[in-house]
Amino acid sequence: MLIASELCSNAVRHGHVAGRDFHLPLTTDPDSGTVRVEVTDTRGDRLPRLPVTAPEDGAGGRGLLLVEALADRWGCSPRAGGGPGKTVWAEYARPRFA
């Protein structure tokens, strides 16, 4: 579950506020086979955006490029309930096996 790992890593690195944690619900729609990963942090001022190019130094910066490549859809929305922060989410359809 690389998508969940990358979104959690971003929440820890870019969305962390001292004394607060992040929230990670994973849901699935059995009818469509869609998996939804949501990571909510408490830092609404730092919104995710894709880098124009991947960094060449190998020090990071590729997480959202991986999410973009693997997810069918992804985005960011304000934290539900009006609290501080944001939710970064990604959805992908599970492969169907015959």
3-state DSSP call for residue 4?
A: helix
Compute the distance between CA of residue 26 and CA of residue 64 in angstroms, rounded to an integer. Answer: 18
pLDDT at 14 over 70: yes
Domain boundaries, the chain: 2-93
Between residues 9 and 61, the one the model is more confident about: 9
pLDDT at 89: 96
pLDDT in tens, 26-80: 999 999 899 999 999 988 888 888 776 666 766 667 888 899 999 999 999 998 8
Rounded Cα–Cα distance for residues 61 and 45 (Å): 18
Beta-carbon contacts of 21 under 8 Å, excluding residues fewer than 6 positions away, are none
Output the pLDDT for position 53.
65
CATH fold label, 2-93: Heat Shock Protein 90 (3.30.565)
Pairing assessment for the beta strands 86-93 and 34-41 based on DSSP bridges = antiparallel
